[in-house]
């Protein structure tokens, strides 16, 4: 298969304009004849559904939460980037483009990343118009702060709840279209299968999570906006019900999966407290501005942290990265913590954490200053752990957080399955091998509001005479039968093991071998273990209750089926990439002082995998051509 | 710790429900209440029984999906905190914890501890938005908004739509929820154009959905995880009177 990214001609700054000038358009009267399914109502999905409906299309939108207002986008705290240069600090589209490309370790497309930066400024205008209460200065203009990996202040925020406010704005715009009867919203409905007719995505099979009923929905095009898949690790900072099923179903129906192994591990989450823990809470990265990270020098340290004298503490980030110290980038800090924990120096009951200590900054700046900077975070920490971090160091630990990989899409956000689009975190498009903070809300939003609603017309222009797609087609019956079959197989299985216990084990394999650092042996072992676990799942899984009812255990089991297959591809991808880049660190490929060794000569491509059958994948490569910048080496020493 | 969970079991909206007691051991103080329920569910499934249904997603106190009436209080023993943020250290060892769904006519029970809060969505659909399409928004800084006004809008916009205010109110009123959205949008210049019609339509829909009237007991503001204050309702009522007077 030849992968054509369909990048428009011209200079970087003209590409999107050129595209807009030349793509085919559909007039509003004709849009009314076209149906579009949007799966997901997070920032990407809600934005797309609302904007498509405003344009005139008939939209059906699905989400598994009880209302679209709760999509995982709601949990983002930090902020959203935009090159507005309000701070007069020399920011512009080019600089933002370059920071993002470099942050991604030159494993993304120049044209896509430039467009992301280009559309960031109008996006802030859009959200302000929709009533997002962004932080403001006293004079009434918008405020900014800085975020990791850049030297300018371009992050817009709404207190510590930026994702919430952006999502609620999208939700309100979606609500307006629901009221106008242009969007039909299906909450507590989960898409189970993509229906393909004559090589084109033409519909979905959906399970009503309350009644357990399956239903068929047809459309002229299907848009996936289903978020990330880091929940494959079981423990992550993602919401509990996030899953990769829609991506995986699309992949099995012919959409290539790009860079599946590129997942980001965030350095400052709260550690797992017990085997039964379900979820890892993110603590803002900003804490690293004033906290010092350390572990005891003694492996069998039994003393409380405050009783350990200075000379018996190992400030390992300061030791290894004197120039950046505690502010080393996410991937590097996470890896360094893992190294100490694996070597047996971890702290806490499960010896899986490191200390983040404010003692020195409180002594230097006073408790009040620290409180004014991080008061809400210290409160949150107290709520969760019962510990007062003003008097005792916090315990933090790295946690799976974001997936850069996802469905391969071209410049139009079109997957390799005609008529199927992927937007937001579920595509691979803009972040390369590592995502910069505050760039993801941006990507989800511009995909949904500005890009997809235009590019999809270029495809649908051929469908004006197609008429309604019938759900009586054999492809619908087959897809529905396979879904029914899956659920029956699970529920009739007479096993002994709960879904969570199996998912936890998958998570452990992935965390050990396919997270912060990877080796050939480890990945090969993981692949064997995943295959065994998959077999065990089908023999041993136990789900009670019925199919035709509200059954959360069954929902989880069906998602785990897909994770058990996807996990293998993640390992296969990590194994294939014999280099270290961004969040992908192969221990075999490092410099003598332990830094990532990228190999541009052999690996300057996007890995896009084709599904043959379970455990059998074919690699296609999209060569990355850097016409406008010269890839450089990241150094933080 | 060892806890007796006394849990409301109800198969679906049509069937009758009842309490059932489940003893659970091996609980640690650091576990969240929802994790204790996860543990209970694993035990139930291993024994061949059906798991207890409960709503949750982010488990960080921001999505608003969780919501259990715990020992007679919406979201449990602490003020201003969501169910997912309740930890087992808040309870006595050997005690009984009573778990019920959020009860209100406008929140029909789906199963066990899960309720249907789509009435909130329908309130928002009546005008909890600014009628502007994508594209063509003016440059953001061309409409200055003073910090205090922006902060006030943010205070109101913070509502997570959990429904605790309704569950705790003896009238099952949705006034706190509805007022928060009205006050958020009405406070901003972008939302001010539609202020009166928005206020009128949202309040009317609230009544249409079967939520009760507010009698200012203040119970809601104690449970609201986002600290939406009671004064928010007073402001809504004032605007509603204006809307009626000016015929929207
Ligand atoms: C704790 C945390 C903090 C973060 N902070 C930031 C930040 O400060 N800045 C930033 O830029 N990014 C941040 N991110 C990342 C960012 O929040 C996400 O990448 C982004 O919100 C993804 O948006 P989305 O619309 O693609 O997906 P989501 O918001 O995850 O939405 C997915 C939607 O798909 C639906 N769905 C999924 N599968 C199905 C199915 N099979 N059937 C039906 N519906 C389905 C869901 O119901 C949901 O509506 C953070 C992430 C986390 C975990
Ligand atoms: S007003 Fe408070 S209690 Fe009521 S729904 Fe909103 S956040 Fe929940
Ligand atoms: S689960 Fe999201 S607020 Fe509790």
Question: Mean pLDDT over residues A457-471, rounded?
Answer: 97
Provide the terminal-to-terminal Cα distance of chain B, rounded to the nearest Å.
57
Residues A380, A281: Cα–Cα separation, whole Å: 10
Interface of A with B in 221-240 (CB under 8 A): 239-240
Q: CB of A542 within 8 Å of any CB in chain B? A: yes
State percent of chain A over pLDDT 70.
99
Check pLDDT > 70 for residue A332.
yes
For the domain made up of B3-111, give the CATH fold. Answer: Ubiquitin-like (UB roll) (3.10.20)
What are the pLDDT digits (tens) for A366-400?
999 888 778 878 888 988 888 999 999 999 999 99
Residue A179 burial (CB count, 10 A) = 17
Residue A332 burial (CB count, 10 A) = 21
Question: Mean pLDDT over residues B59-85, rounded?
Answer: 97
Cα torsion A159, A161, A162, A168: sign: negative
Token readout for A201 is 């995505």
Nearest to B191 by CA among A127, A130, A166, A180: A130
Spatial neighbors of A363 by CB under 8 A, at least 6 apart, are none
Q: Provide φ and ψ at A468, rounded to 5°.
A: -55, 140
Check pLDDT > 80 for residue A507.
yes
Cβ <8 Å between B157 and A165: yes
Mutation to test the A interface, candidates B29, B36, B58, most A Cβ within 10 Å: B58
What are the pLDDT digits (tens) for A233-247?
999 999 999 999 999
Cα distances (angstroms) measured from residue A213 to each of A224, A475, A542, B24, B174: 21, 19, 21, 33, 31
Query: For residues B27 and B1, is the Cβ–Cβ distance under 8 A?
Result: yes
Residue of A nearest to B39 (CA): A276
Residues A359, A370: Cα–Cα separation, whole Å: 10
Query: For residues A448 and A423, is the Cβ–Cβ distance under 8 A?
Result: yes
List the Cα angle A348/A354/A355 in 5-degree steps: 95
Pairing relationship of beta strands A394-403 and A406-407 according to DSSP bridges: unpaired
Give A-chain residues touching B59 at CB under 8 angstroms: 239-240, 278-279, 281
Interface of B with A in 16-35 (CB under 8 A): 28-32, 34-35
Strand partners, A395: A355
SS (H, E, C) A295-346: EECCCCCCCCHHHCCHHHEECHHHHHCCCCHHHCCHHHHHHHHHHHHHHHHC
Q: Measured from the CB, is residue B225 less than 6 Å from ligand 3?
A: no
Span from the CA of A272 to the centroid of ligand 2 (angstroms):
29
Instruction: Tell me the pLDDT band of A594, cut-offs 50, 70 and 90.
Output: confident
Query: For residues A314 and A294, is the Cβ–Cβ distance under 8 A?
Result: yes
Cβ <8 Å between A136 and B56: no
Instruction: Tell me the pLDDT band of A331, cut-offs 50, 70 and 90.
Output: confident
What are the pLDDT digits (tens) for A13-25?
999 999 999 999 9
Q: Which of A136, A139, A386 sits opposite B89 (nearest CB)?
A: A386
Token readout for B127 is 């005008």
Atom of ligand 2 nearest to the CA of B180: 1
Token readout for A496 is 């002994």
Token readout for A615 is 């455990």
Check pLDDT > 60 for residue A210.
yes
Residues A205, A225: Cα–Cα separation, whole Å: 16
What are the pLDDT digits (tens) for B123-152?
999 999 999 999 989 999 999 999 999 999
Question: Mean pLDDT over residues A100-110, rounded?
Answer: 95
Query: For residues B112 and B6, is the Cβ–Cβ distance under 8 A?
Result: no
Span from the CA of B103 to the centroid of ligand 3 (angstroms):
18
Interface of B with A in 115-174 (CB under 8 A): 116-118, 120-121, 124-126, 128-135, 137-141, 143-147, 150-151, 153-154, 157-158, 160-161
pLDDT for residue A636 = 65
Query: For residues B22 and B51, is the Cβ–Cβ distance under 8 A?
Result: no
SS (H, E, C) A531-556: HHHHHHHHHHECCCCCCCCCCHHHHH
> What's the farthest any 2 CA atoms get from each other in chain B?
64
Interface of A with B in 171-210 (CB under 8 A): 171-173, 175-176, 178-179, 185, 187, 210
Cα atoms in the Cβ-side hemisphere of radius 13 Å centred on A405: 30
Query: For residues A624 and A606, is the Cβ–Cβ distance under 8 A?
Result: yes
Strand partners, A296: A313
Query: For residues B214 and B171, is the Cβ–Cβ distance under 8 A?
Result: yes
Give B-chain residues touching A187 at CB under 8 angstroms: 118, 121
- Which is the catalytic residue, given A69, A288, A313, A330? A330
Active-site residue A330, yes or no? yes
pLDDT for residue A270 = 93
Strand partners, A36: A59, A221
Q: Measured from the CB, is residue A165 less than 6 Å from ligand 1?
A: no
Span from the CA of A307 to the centroid of ligand 3 (angstroms):
37
**DSSP percent split of chain A into helix, strand, coil, nearest 5:** 40, 20, 40
Nearest to B56 by CA among A296, A475, A72, A234: A72
Span from the CA of A561 to the centroid of ligand 1 (angstroms):
21
pTM summary value: 0.97
Mean pLDDT over each residue of chain A, to the nearest integer: 95
- DSSP calls for A519-534: -HHHHHHHHHHHHHHH
Domain residue spans in chain B?
A: 3-111, 117-132+143-246
Check pLDDT > 80 for residue A151.
no
Cα atoms in the Cβ-side hemisphere of radius 13 Å centred on B235: 20
Question: Mean pLDDT over residues A256-284, rounded?
Answer: 92
Residues B67, B48: Cα–Cα separation, whole Å: 26
Residues A286, A288: Cα–Cα separation, whole Å: 5
Nearest to A187 by CA among B65, B178, B157, B82: B65
What are the pLDDT digits (tens) for A30-84?
999 999 999 999 999 999 999 999 999 999 999 999 999 999 999 998 899 999 9
Cα torsion A56, A60, A64, A67: sign: positive
Q: Which of B48, B63, B129 sits opposite A172 (nearest CB)?
A: B129
Number of H helices, E strands in chain B: 9, 7
pLDDT for residue A149 = 64
Residue of A nearest to B183 (CA): A131
Instruction: Tell me the pLDDT band of A107, cut-offs 50, 70 and 90.
Output: very high
Residues B15, B13: Cα–Cα separation, whole Å: 6
Which overall architecture, per CATH, does domain B117-132+143-246 show? Orthogonal Bundle (1.10)
pLDDT for residue A139 = 94
Q: CB of B202 within 8 Å of any CB in chain A? A: no
pLDDT for residue A595 = 83
Token readout for A635 is 């150094």
pLDDT for residue B248 = 57
Q: CB of B89 within 8 Å of any CB in chain A? A: yes
Q: Residue A40: left (phi > 0), alpha (psi -120 to 50), or beta?
A: left
Domains and CATH numbers, chain A: 35-264+402-461 (3.50.50.60), 271-401 (3.90.700.10), 474-623 (1.20.58.100)
Cβ <8 Å between B60 and A553: no
Residues A121, A323: Cα–Cα separation, whole Å: 33
């Amino acid at each position: 298969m030849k992968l054509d990214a369909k990048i428009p001609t011209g200079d970087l700054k003209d590409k999107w304009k050129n595209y807009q000038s030349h793509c085919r358009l559909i007039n509003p009267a004709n849009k009314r004849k076209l149906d579009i399914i949007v799966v997901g109502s997070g920032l990407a999905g809600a934005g797309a559904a609302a904007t498509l409906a405003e344009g005139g299309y008939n939209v059906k939108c699905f989400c598994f939460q009880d209302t679209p207002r709760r999509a995982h986008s709601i949990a983002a705290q930090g902020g959203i980037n935009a090159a507005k240069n309000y701070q007069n600090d020399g920011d512009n589209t080019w600089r933002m483009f370059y920071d993002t490309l470099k942050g991604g370790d030159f494993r993304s497309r120049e044209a896509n990343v430039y467009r992301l930066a280009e559309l960031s400024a109008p996006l802030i205008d859009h959200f302000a118009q929709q009533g997002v209460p962004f932080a403001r200065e006293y004079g009434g203009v918008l405020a900014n702060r800085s975020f990791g990996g850049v030297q300018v202040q371009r992050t817009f925020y709404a207190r510590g709840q930026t994702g919430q406010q952006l999502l609620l704005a999208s939700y309100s715009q979606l609500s307006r279209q629901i009221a106008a009867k242009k969007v039909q919203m299906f909450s507590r409905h989960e898409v189970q299968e993509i229906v393909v007719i004559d090589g084109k995505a033409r519909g979905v099979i959906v399970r009503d999570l309350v009644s357990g009923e399956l239903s068929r929905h047809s459309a002229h095009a299907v848009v996936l906006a289903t978020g990330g898949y880091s929940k494959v690790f079981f423990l992550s900072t993602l919401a509990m019900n996030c899953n990769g099923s829609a991506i995986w179903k699309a992949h099995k129906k012919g959409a290539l999966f790009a860079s599946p192994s590129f997942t980001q591990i965030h350095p400052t989450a709260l550690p797992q407290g017990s085997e039964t823990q379900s979820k890892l809470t993110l603590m803002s990265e900003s804490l690293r501005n004033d906290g010092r990270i350390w572990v005891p020098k003694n492996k069998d340290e039994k003393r409380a942290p405050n009783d350990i004298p200075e000379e018996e503490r190992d400030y390992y980030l300061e030791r290894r990265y004197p120039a950046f110290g505690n502010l080393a980038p996410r991937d590097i800090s996470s890896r360094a913590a893992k190294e100490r924990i694996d070597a047996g120096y971890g702290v806490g009951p499960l010896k899986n954490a490191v200390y983040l200590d404010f003692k020195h900054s409180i002594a230097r700046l006073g408790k009040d200053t620290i409180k004014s900077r991080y008061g809400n975070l210290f409160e949150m920490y107290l709520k969760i752990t019962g510990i007062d971090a003003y008097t005792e160091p916090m315990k933090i630990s790295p946690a799976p957080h974001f997936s850069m990989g996802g469905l391969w899409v071209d410049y139009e956000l079109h997957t390799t399955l005609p008529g199927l689009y992927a937007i937001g975190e579920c595509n691979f498009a803009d972040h390369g091998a590592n995502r910069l903070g505050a760039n993801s809300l941006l990507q989800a939003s511009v995909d949904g509001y500005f890009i997809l609603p235009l590019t999809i017309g270029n495809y649908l222009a051929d469908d004006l005479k197609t008429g309604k797609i019938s759900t009586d087609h054999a492809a619908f019956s087959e897809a529905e039968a396979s879904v029914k079959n899956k659920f029956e197989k699970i529920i009739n299985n007479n096993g002994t093991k709960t879904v969570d216990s199996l998912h936890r084990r998958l998570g452990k394999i992935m965390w050990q071998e396919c997270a912060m650092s990877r080796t050939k042996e480890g990945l090969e072992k993981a692949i064997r273990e995943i295959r065994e676990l998959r077999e065990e799942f089908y023999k041993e899984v136990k789900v009670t209750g019925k199919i035709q009812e509200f059954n959360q255990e069954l929902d989880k089991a069906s998602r785990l089926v897909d994770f058990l297959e996807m996990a293998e591809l993640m390992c296969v991808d990590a194994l294939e990439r014999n280099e270290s880049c961004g969040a992908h660190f192969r221990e075999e490929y490092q410099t003598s002082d332990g830094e990532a060794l990228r190999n541009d000569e052999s690996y300057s491509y996007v890995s896009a995998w084709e599904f043959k059958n379970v455990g059998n994948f074919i690699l296609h490569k999209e060569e990355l051509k850097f016409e406008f910048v010269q890839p450089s080496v990241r150094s933080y020493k | 710790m060892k806890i007796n969970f006394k849990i409301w079991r109800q198969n679906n909206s049509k069937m009758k429900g009842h309490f059932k007691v489940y003893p659970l051991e091996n609980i640690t103080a650091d576990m969240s209440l929802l994790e204790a329920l996860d543990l209970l569910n694993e035990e139930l499934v291993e024994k061949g029984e059906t798991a207890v249904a409960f709503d949750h997603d982010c488990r960080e106190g921001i999505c608003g999906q969780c919501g259990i009436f715990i020992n007679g209080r919406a979201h449990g023993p602490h003020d201003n905190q969501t169910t997912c943020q309740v930890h087992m250290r808040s309870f006595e060892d050997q005690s009984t914890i009573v778990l019920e769904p959020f009860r209100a006519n406008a929140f029909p029970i789906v199963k066990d501890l899960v309720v249907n809060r789509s009435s909130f969505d329908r309130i928002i659909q009546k005008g909890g938005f600014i009628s502007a399409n994508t594209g063509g928004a003016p440059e953001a800084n061309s409409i200055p908004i003073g910090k205090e006004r922006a902060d006030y809008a943010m205070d109101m916009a913070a509502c997570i739509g959990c429904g605790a205010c309704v569950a705790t109110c003896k009238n099952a009123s949705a006034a706190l929820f509805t007022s928060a959205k009205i006050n958020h949008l009405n406070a901003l210049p972008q939302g001010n154009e539609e202020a009166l019609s928005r206020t009128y339509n949202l309040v009317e829909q609230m009544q249409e959905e079967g939520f009760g009237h507010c009698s200012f007991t203040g119970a809601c503001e104690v449970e609201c995880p986002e600290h939406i204050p009671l004064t928010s309702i007073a402001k809504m009522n004032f605007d509603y009177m204006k809307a009626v007077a000016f015929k929207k």
